[in-house]
Amino acid sequence: MVQNLSMQSPAIGQHKQQLTCPKLPLGVYREVAAHLRQVQGIDTSLILRSIEHDESEKFDYYQSQVAALEIKYTDKTDETAQEQVAAILDYYARRYNCWVDYTVYKSKKLIARKSEARRSWDGGFWV
Protein backbone atom coordinates (compact mmCIF):
# COMPACT_ATOMS: atom_id res chain seq x y z
CA MET A 1 0.00 0.00 0.00
CA VAL A 2 0.99 3.62 -0.36
CA GLN A 3 2.32 5.17 2.80
CA ASN A 4 0.19 8.02 4.13
CA LEU A 5 2.96 10.55 3.51
CA SER A 6 3.09 9.85 -0.21
CA MET A 7 -0.70 9.73 -0.60
CA GLN A 8 -1.14 13.29 0.58
CA SER A 9 -1.78 15.88 -2.07
CA PRO A 10 1.04 18.36 -2.54
CA ALA A 11 0.76 21.34 -0.23
CA ILE A 12 -0.29 24.70 -1.62
CA GLY A 13 2.63 26.09 -3.57
CA GLN A 14 4.14 22.62 -3.98
CA HIS A 15 3.54 21.35 -7.47
CA LYS A 16 5.50 18.12 -7.50
CA GLN A 17 6.00 14.93 -5.59
CA GLN A 18 8.91 12.49 -5.77
CA LEU A 19 8.13 8.89 -4.89
CA THR A 20 10.22 5.74 -4.93
CA CYS A 21 9.28 2.09 -4.75
CA PRO A 22 12.38 0.08 -3.84
CA LYS A 23 13.29 -2.65 -6.35
CA LEU A 24 10.54 -1.68 -8.79
CA PRO A 25 11.76 -2.55 -12.32
CA LEU A 26 12.35 0.13 -14.94
CA GLY A 27 9.51 -1.15 -17.14
CA VAL A 28 6.99 -0.84 -14.31
CA TYR A 29 8.18 2.69 -13.45
CA ARG A 30 7.60 3.59 -17.10
CA GLU A 31 4.16 1.99 -17.01
CA VAL A 32 3.18 3.93 -13.86
CA ALA A 33 4.44 7.19 -15.40
CA ALA A 34 2.45 6.58 -18.60
CA HIS A 35 -0.64 5.66 -16.59
CA LEU A 36 -0.38 8.84 -14.49
CA ARG A 37 0.17 11.06 -17.57
CA GLN A 38 -3.32 10.05 -18.75
CA VAL A 39 -4.79 12.03 -15.84
CA GLN A 40 -5.60 15.63 -16.80
CA GLY A 41 -3.27 18.14 -15.15
CA ILE A 42 -0.56 15.56 -14.34
CA ASP A 43 2.88 15.21 -15.86
CA THR A 44 5.56 12.76 -14.82
CA SER A 45 9.25 12.09 -15.24
CA LEU A 46 11.67 9.45 -14.04
CA ILE A 47 14.69 10.31 -11.90
CA LEU A 48 17.48 7.97 -12.87
CA ARG A 49 19.81 6.42 -10.35
CA SER A 50 23.30 7.92 -10.15
CA ILE A 51 25.81 6.37 -12.52
CA GLU A 52 28.49 6.58 -9.84
CA HIS A 53 29.08 3.16 -8.36
CA ASP A 54 29.55 2.82 -4.62
CA GLU A 55 32.25 0.15 -4.31
CA SER A 56 31.18 -0.70 -0.76
CA GLU A 57 27.72 -1.64 -2.03
CA LYS A 58 27.18 -5.21 -3.21
CA PHE A 59 25.74 -5.46 -6.73
CA ASP A 60 22.02 -6.20 -6.68
CA TYR A 61 20.37 -7.56 -9.82
CA TYR A 62 16.98 -6.51 -8.49
CA GLN A 63 17.88 -2.87 -7.90
CA SER A 64 16.00 -0.57 -10.24
CA GLN A 65 17.72 1.74 -12.69
CA VAL A 66 15.24 4.40 -11.59
CA ALA A 67 15.68 6.28 -8.33
CA ALA A 68 12.20 7.85 -8.22
CA LEU A 69 9.08 8.90 -10.05
CA GLU A 70 8.38 12.62 -10.13
CA ILE A 71 4.73 13.63 -10.37
CA LYS A 72 4.10 17.22 -11.43
CA TYR A 73 0.75 18.82 -10.70
CA THR A 74 -0.31 21.71 -12.92
CA ASP A 75 -2.82 24.45 -12.15
CA LYS A 76 -5.42 22.29 -13.96
CA THR A 77 -5.11 19.51 -11.39
CA ASP A 78 -8.35 19.26 -9.47
CA GLU A 79 -9.50 17.05 -6.60
CA THR A 80 -10.78 14.35 -8.98
CA ALA A 81 -7.38 14.19 -10.68
CA GLN A 82 -5.63 13.88 -7.30
CA GLU A 83 -7.99 11.01 -6.38
CA GLN A 84 -7.16 9.30 -9.68
CA VAL A 85 -3.44 9.67 -8.97
CA ALA A 86 -3.96 8.17 -5.50
CA ALA A 87 -5.92 5.24 -6.97
CA ILE A 88 -3.25 4.54 -9.60
CA LEU A 89 -0.44 4.67 -7.02
CA ASP A 90 -2.43 2.43 -4.68
CA TYR A 91 -2.97 -0.13 -7.45
CA TYR A 92 0.76 -0.42 -8.10
CA ALA A 93 1.58 -0.39 -4.37
CA ARG A 94 -0.73 -3.38 -3.80
CA ARG A 95 0.80 -5.19 -6.74
CA TYR A 96 4.49 -4.46 -6.05
CA ASN A 97 5.55 -2.53 -2.94
CA CYS A 98 4.88 0.64 -0.91
CA TRP A 99 5.62 4.07 -2.34
CA VAL A 100 7.94 6.15 -0.20
CA ASP A 101 8.71 9.86 -0.34
CA TYR A 102 12.04 9.93 -2.19
CA THR A 103 13.62 12.71 -0.11
CA VAL A 104 12.88 10.77 3.10
CA TYR A 105 14.12 7.50 1.57
CA LYS A 106 17.30 9.15 0.26
CA SER A 107 18.13 10.77 3.61
CA LYS A 108 17.56 7.52 5.55
CA LYS A 109 19.82 5.64 3.14
CA LEU A 110 22.53 8.31 3.51
CA ILE A 111 22.32 8.14 7.32
CA ALA A 112 22.64 4.34 7.20
CA ARG A 113 25.73 4.59 4.98
CA LYS A 114 27.35 7.15 7.29
CA SER A 115 26.74 5.02 10.39
CA GLU A 116 28.28 2.00 8.64
CA ALA A 117 31.31 4.10 7.65
CA ARG A 118 31.83 5.13 11.29
CA ARG A 119 32.17 1.55 12.44
CA SER A 120 35.74 0.69 13.31
CA TRP A 121 37.69 -2.45 14.12
CA ASP A 122 38.43 -2.79 17.84
CA GLY A 123 40.23 -5.92 18.99
CA GLY A 124 38.30 -8.39 16.86
CA PHE A 125 34.94 -6.58 16.97
CA TRP A 126 33.29 -3.99 14.79
CA VAL A 127 32.11 -1.06 16.91
Q: What is the pLDDT of residues 60-88, one digit of tens each?
A: 666 678 889 999 998 888 999 999 999 99
25-43 pLDDT, tens digit per residue, is: 889 999 999 999 999 999 9
What pLDDT sits at residue 53? 59
Q: Would you give the distance in Å from CA 85 to the centre of its chain?
A: 15
Distances (CA, A) of 46 to 18, 71, 94, 116, 122: 9, 9, 21, 29, 43
Distances (CA, A) of 106 to 10, 18, 20, 95, 102: 19, 11, 9, 23, 6
**Could you tell me the pTM of the whole model?**
0.70
